[in-house]
Amino acid sequence: MSMAQGTSCDTCSNYIYDEDYDCYECYVSMDEDDMARFLSQTRLECPYYRSDNEYEVVKHQM
């Protein structure tokens, strides 16, 4: 399974480095139903994806 274009966890602002565990983690608090729905998709598209690209964010504000 692959993420849809533009929705990679690597470019999401919710994907944050945790120094205690020395790895990146998603800080979205999904309940069981959301997680099951997310994992059962054939094409992963996270409903909580937020771009970490500042230029893309500003583009929407203009």
Domain that holds residue 23: 9-61
The band of 46, judged by pLDDT with boundaries at 50, 70 and 90, is confident
Number of compact structural domains in the chain: 1
| Residue 42: predicted pLDDT | 76
Among candidate residues 17, 21, 20, 16, the one with its CA nearest the CA of residue 48: 16
The answer to whether residue 32 is domain-embedded is yes
Q: Are 50 and 14 in contact (CB under 8 A)?
A: yes
The answer to whether residue 23 is domain-embedded is yes
The answer to whether residue 16 is domain-embedded is yes
The answer to whether residue 34 is domain-embedded is yes
| Residue 35: predicted pLDDT | 85
The answer to whether residue 4 is domain-embedded is no
The answer to whether residue 1 is domain-embedded is no
The answer to whether residue 27 is domain-embedded is yes
The answer to whether residue 3 is domain-embedded is no
